[in-house]
Amino acid sequence: MKRIDLLPPEQRVKASRERGLLWAILILVAIVVALGMVYMWQNSQVSDKQAELDAITAQLAVEQQKAADLAPYAQIQTTRTAMTATAQGIYYSRVPWSTILQEISLVIPENVRLQSLSGTVPATMLPGPAVPATAGAVAAATTDITFAGTTYTHKDVAEFMTRLGLIPQLSNVQLASSAGAAAAATDGTTGTPTVTFTVTASLRPYLTPPPATVIQGAAQ
């Protein structure tokens, strides 16, 4: 059977408006509920992030305190490292007197007799505060090693000087003095040594300056 709407037209319009208003209210309520749920979810996320930030901040404060407590030990370690490096530099830049003496014993001629040998290390080769050099100036040769001895002839002195020039640690080998004359025995062989001499030499300077004894980074 066909349904017949017996409501007057104005009532039908009113009912239609009421239904539209109801739907609008329902939709608005749904939107408000959805926004409330989104707000609660975002607020929960913010709370979680804030709690995480607070935990990280607290951990950072703990680590900073640990770093502050360990700072003196870090300074001690820095000073120890600098002292070790300086000690190694001093050790490797030392003058190897034992090696030099051994090499001298290998090159000294059989006819030469040394009566004395003295050696000093020049100030420019000693560890310590660097000595400022004048621009363009050439370091003057120093008399670091002095040999005094006797031999039979002046030729023996010259041979001794030539052999000293073969030692890598020595340079500027010079004859300071040589006096006397060769004496011959009656049988034609060389007699008693009568030539006395003094020969000087310089220690060959380092390719790099010696290390400074002032520890960089040491606690004051």
The residue among 120, 122, 167 whose CA lies nearest residue 146 is 120
Which position has the token pair 């001298």?
Answer: 104
pLDDT at 96: 82
Give the residue from 164, 67, 77 showing the smallest Cα distance to 112: 164
- Residue 124: the pLDDT is 78
* Percent with pLDDT over 90 in the chain: 24
Q: How far apart are CA 182 and CA 187, in angstroms?
A: 14
SS3 category, 204: coil
Instruction: For 56-109, write each residue's pLDDT tens digit.
Output: 988 998 888 888 888 888 888 888 887 777 776 666 667 788 889 999 999 999
Cα–Cα distance between 193 and 152 in angstroms, integer? 4
Q: Reply yes or no on whether the pLDDT at 174 is more than 50.
A: yes
Name the average pLDDT for the chain.
79
Q: What is the pLDDT of residue 196?
A: 94
Q: Return the bridge partners of 184, or none.
A: 190
**Residue 3 — pLDDT band, cuts 50, 70, 90?**
low
